[in-house]
Homo-oligomer: A and B are copies of this chain.
Amino acid sequence: MGGTHAEMARLLWGPHPRPARGPRPTLDLDRIARAGIEIADSDGLAALSMQRVAARLGVTKMALYRYVPGKAELVALMVDAAIGPYRAAGKPRNGWREHLEEWGRQLLAGFQRHPWMLDATVGPRIMGPGELSWLEYAVSTLDGTGLSGAERMDAAVLLVGHVREITQQARAAGPTGDPETELGAVLGDLMREHGDRFPALTSALISTARSGGQNQAWEFGLQRILDGLAALIDQRAC
């Protein structure tokens, strides 16, 4: 292993000065990260190996270790490159709620473009500049709302959690959107056989049937969180 946190920070945050001597490098961190992203996008994070990344770049696996101390660092680079910096699109005259809503939608879109980011962002880790810019924006929208610093952070984290959960659900449902994957079929069988042990669940699922799929779940959670925030902010304002 080559992965201390300090190395990770240096890699994510630079600078990366081109060394003065020696042959010119064939690769750079950006190309490596993009190659990894392409693999993970199409075949999932489990299919990501140093070999495959190297092969895609026309280079030996060991060449990568000249740029990256280990696989964990490569994945961290991929995450930060895949999510990129947040670019606010809305007009700046809107209130915090509109901004956070748009922000959440874009974050969700990012996660769904790169579902492997779910697996890559579990556990303690160091965020890169891109990822941090997302957090920065979310927290900044809550400036002047009367929330404390910790509360503004907590609110952002709460939204991130929701985005992650929805991404996970969407991935389970498969790309079609409805649970007619094999997993969905197995789950159906399961409920048909053991449904009586889970009456509330069964009734909830039946009454659900067709009501909008995961998009509904996303909107529901988003609005509930924003409502909860609004309630607190209003209460503080009085």
Chain A residues packing against B (C-beta within 8 Å): 4-6, 8-9, 13, 118-119, 122-126, 129, 132-133, 135-137, 139-140, 143, 148-155, 157-158, 160-162, 164-165, 168-169, 171-174, 181-183, 186-187, 189-190, 193-194, 197-201, 203-208, 211-212, 216-217, 220-221, 223-229, 231-232
Task: Report which of B152, B158, B187, B206 forms a contact with A149, defined as CB distance below 8 A.
Answer: B206
Interface centre among A208, A211, A212 (most CB of B within 10 A): A208
Task: Report which of B122, B125, B200, B220 forms a contact with A143, defined as CB distance below 8 A.
Answer: B200
Contacts of A125 in B (CB 8 A): 172, 183
* Chain B residue, CB-CB nearest to A152: B204
Contact A122 B122 (CB under 8 A): yes
Q: Tell me how many chains of this kind the complex includes.
A: 2
Contact A226 B227 (CB under 8 A): no
Interface centre among A148, A153, A208 (most CB of B within 10 A): A153
Contacts of A152 in B (CB 8 A): 200, 204
Task: Report which of B122, B124, B154, B231 forms a contact with A217, defined as CB distance below 8 A.
Answer: B154
Provide the bound-state CA to CA distance between A9 and B184, in Å: 12
Task: Report which of B133, B135, B150, B183 forms a contact with A126, defined as CB distance below 8 A.
Answer: B183
User: In the complex, how many angstroms separate the beta carbon of A59 from the nearest chain B beta carbon?
Assistant: 27
Provide the bound-state CA to CA distance between A135 and B203, in Å: 13
Contact A204 B139 (CB under 8 A): yes
Task: Report which of B123, B126, B140 forms a contact with A187, defined as CB distance below 8 A.
Answer: B126
Contacts of A157 in B (CB 8 A): 165, 169, 217, 221
Contacts of A221 in B (CB 8 A): 154, 157-158, 161
Contact B186 A9 (CB under 8 A): yes
Contact B194 A13 (CB under 8 A): yes
Contacts of A132 in B (CB 8 A): 198, 201
